[in-house]
Amino acid sequence: MSVRVRFAPSPTGQVHIGNIRAAIFNWLFARHAGGKFLLRIEDTDRERSTPEAVQAVLDAMTWLGLDWDEQPVYQSTQLPQHQAAVERLLQTGRAYRGCKGDDPSSGEVVFFRMPGTDMTFHDEIKGTLVKKAGDLKDFVIVRSDGSPVFHIANVVDDIGMGITHVIRGDDHIENTYRHVAIFQALDATVPNYAHLPMIVNAQGKPYSKRDGAAFVGDFREQGFLAEALFNYLSLLGWSPGQDLEKMSRTEAVALFTLERVKSGPAQMDLRKLTHLNSLYLSEMPPSAFLQTVRAYAATRVPWVAEADAELFDRVAGLLQSRTTLLANVDAWRYFFEDQPAQDEDAVKKTLHKPGVRESLIRVRDGLAALPTLTAAAVETVLRAAETAGGLSANKLNQPVRVAVTGVTIGASIYDIIVLLGASRTRTRLDRAIAKIAVTNQVV
């Protein structure tokens, strides 16, 4: 049997990570088996299925490298097949016309007739699942306006597309008992099922946008790499056995099996994902990192296009290993501005302290006396200024950092000064020195 699986999103807005994780698992399963990974857009909700929502699905898949086989199937084009299946069910007595709640004014609908027996199916992840006949009532398959509902459209399309395995979220388990009954009523082969564990937050509740980034587009905007998100989501509910955190796409394809998908909920941990992203970023060849940063910034961080290109390359080289998200690039701005913005709180806490002004003057003069600006030489100047001011070692690192960059965190201050160069560093130190003098007079 050659494997045919599908991702069947309802395009109703942005693409939630739970949905795209289902796409990833289907893709891994198909690629592992050398089968087909198909795409079906379940766009029968004409109000919510906008062209933008469809595009969001296609973009998310393309970005994550989830290439699909064959032409995508748009469910809205399959209406004749859905209607034909309903006709057949009506003829064989497996469906009947009626009114909801016996109220004729609500209009006539079509009900599917459940077989009246317990329903059971084998789930590749959850094992054998059973539901009592008494808990499975007949249900509507065609609304009073003539439109088929999800259940019939979903099953008829799976039959039409020759789907062998339905891999989807475990929120669909209740539907599956009904779907199995429809497959059987249509004399079709029931596909194999695999219901994926829900993605939950730290409290064990379904992970939603209230918990942080929840849509593929959000992760992309924040500067997660597609490879890192793919890697993280493929391990969210699946484990290849070894305790692997970082895994290439090729390895994941080679190792993926449904047997190793966990049945319990999978907890989303943004910190772990961010850490993984920083690993991917730091392991990139510098030229690839630079290219990625520039591509990200092109539409999101406008000042980068104007920035001195040579300095930008060097800054990227210095900060690559400290970058956790591509969005961090905006914080590099201080390298390029004549007068970088200053964090006033940091200024108050580090610069407006007795003796700091004198120390900064010593640092400025010490730097001016250097024949060449190297990190080691800058360090020597700072140590000498500390000794002269009766300060312990490294006490001046933060004041100098705030004076020069305006903020309290960043790469090594010695490296930063070397990158900025003598003249820019001097201008910034002078500005801080003047600022302290003015404020001290006022106070």
The site string for ligand GLU over 158-187 (x = CB under 6 A, - otherwise) reads: --------x-x---x---------------
Q: Which two tokens stand for residue 330?
A: 């905006």
Residue 386 found at the interface with ligand GLU (CB under 6 A) = no
Sign of CA dihedral 394, 397, 400, 402: negative
Q: Which two tokens stand for residue 387?
A: 């000794």
Q: Does residue 375 contact residue 336 with C-beta atoms inside 8 Å?
A: no
Separation of alpha carbons 174 and 177, rounded Å: 6
Q: Which of 49, 78, 154, 405 binds ligand GLU (CB under 6 A)?
A: 154
Residue 8 or 255 having the CB closest to ligand GLU: 8
Stretch that binds ligand GLU, among 4-12, 183-191, 236-244, 287-295 (CB under 6 A): 4-12
Strand blocks (E) in 72-191: 73-74, 95-99, 108-112, 119-123, 127-131, 139-142, 165-169
Residue 192 found at the interface with ligand GLU (CB under 6 A) = no
Question: Shortest approach of ligand GLU to residue 109 CB, angstroms?
Answer: 21
Q: Which two tokens stand for residue 106?
A: 């609500």
Stretch that binds ligand GLU, among 6-14, 209-217, 319-327, 332-340 (CB under 6 A): 6-14
Q: How many chain residues are in contact with ligand GLU, going by CB under 6 A?
A: 8
Which of 240, 197, 226 minimizes the C-alpha distance to 60? 226
Helix (H) or strand (E) holding 51: helix 51-63
Residue 157 found at the interface with ligand GLU (CB under 6 A) = no
Over the Cα atoms of the chain, what is R_g? 31
Residue 172 or 333 having the CB closest to ligand GLU: 172
Burial class (CB in 10 A: 0-12, 13-18, 19+), 128: exposed
Q: Which of 18, 20, 39, 42 binds ligand GLU (CB under 6 A)?
A: 42
Residue 350 found at the interface with ligand GLU (CB under 6 A) = no
Residue 82 found at the interface with ligand GLU (CB under 6 A) = no
Comparing every residue's Cβ against ligand GLU, the nearest one is 168
- Residues lying near ligand GLU in the complex (CB under 6 A) are found at 8-10, 42, 154, 166, 168, 172
